Structure 1
Amino acid sequence: MFGYFIGALPDFLAYFAAAVTLAALFLFVYVRLTPHRELALIRDGNSAAATQLSGTFLGFAIPVATVIAHSVSIPDMMLWGAVAAMVQLLVFLVIARLVFAGISARIAEGCTASGIFVGGIGLGIGILQAACMIP
């Protein structure tokens, strides 16, 4: 058993490092593309922004976790992770531009319902993505 652990540890470390890098890149791009400044709002105690970003991040992380479990290589995982990121960005774009044009401002104002809605939709779409990414 210990031999298996030692043999599998490099793969774990490589996948984990790749996944954390992908997650950091996703968060970096996402908070730059949304009109409101999630991190500053969260620092100021805005629970709407915290809920929105947390739900969106989980909506990204769940498909990535599924892909890690089923991928054939790190590049394969990174490509599918990029798809998950693009879908989450598209979810926010559709909500903020087509469904509720003022939702970003409402999140910035601290409207928790808006944050829950955006985060929840992102999480739900992420779960659907995860199911679709299994071969």
Structure 2
Amino acid sequence: MFEYFTDALPHFLAYFAAAVALAIAFLLLYVMITPHKEIALIRDGNSAAAAQLTGTFLGFSVPVAMVIGHSVSIPDMLLWGAVAAIVQLAVFFLVSRLLFRSISQRITDRCVASGIFVGGIGLGIGILQAACMVP
């Protein structure tokens, strides 16, 4: 049993490091693309921004977690993780540009309902993505 653990540990560390790097890259890209500044808003105590970013991050993380369990290699996982990131960016674009043009301003103005809505949509789409990414 200990031998299995020592053999599997490098694989765990490699996948975990790749997943964390992918998550950091996604978060950096996401907060750069959105018109409001989530990190500054969260530091200022804006619950709407916290709900929005948390839901979106979970919407990204769920499919990545599913892919990790089913991928054949780290590059495979990274490619499907990029798909998950693109989908989350598209979700924000569709919500903020087509459905509710003022949603970004409402999040900035601390409208928690708006933050929960955007985060919830991101999480829901992420769950659907995860289901579709399983062979």
TM range, normalised to the smaller chain?
over 0.9
Offset of residue 7 of structure 1: 0.3
Q: Distance in 2 between matches of 1:49 and 1:2?
A: 45
In the other structure, the counterpart of 1:105 is 105
Offset of residue 49 of structure 1: 0.1
In the other structure, the counterpart of 2:116 is 116
- When the two chains are superposed, the root-mean-square deviation of aligned CA atoms in Å is 0.2
Q: Distance in 1 between matches of 2:44 and 2:107?
A: 13
Offset of residue 55 of structure 1: 0.1
Q: Distance in 2 between matches of 1:2 and 1:105?
A: 54
Amino acid at match of 1:131: A
Number of aligned residue pairs: give it. Answer: 135
Offset of residue 131 of structure 1: 0.1
In the other structure, the counterpart of 2:28 is 28
TM-score by length of 2: 1.00
TM-score by length of 1: 1.00
Q: Distance in 2 between matches of 1:118 and 1:100?
A: 10
Offset of residue 107 of structure 1: 0.2
Q: Distance in 1 between matches of 2:2 and 2:55?
A: 37
Instruction: String of CA shifts for 1:73-100, please: whole Å, max 9, x gaps.
Output: 0000000000000000000000000000
Partner SS state of residue 119, structure 1: helix
Unmatched 5+ residue regions in structure 2?
none
Q: Distance in 2 between matches of 1:55 and 1:67?
A: 19
In the other structure, the counterpart of 1:44 is 44
Which runs of structure 1 show a deviation greater than 2 angstroms over 4 or more consecutive aligned residues?
A: none
In the other structure, the counterpart of 1:87 is 87
Offset of residue 28 of structure 1: 0.3
Partner SS state of residue 10, structure 1: helix
Q: Distance in 2 between matches of 1:4 and 1:111?
A: 50
Question: Taking every aligned residue pair, what percent have the same amino acid on both sides?
Answer: 74
Q: Distance in 1 between matches of 2:5 and 2:50?
A: 37
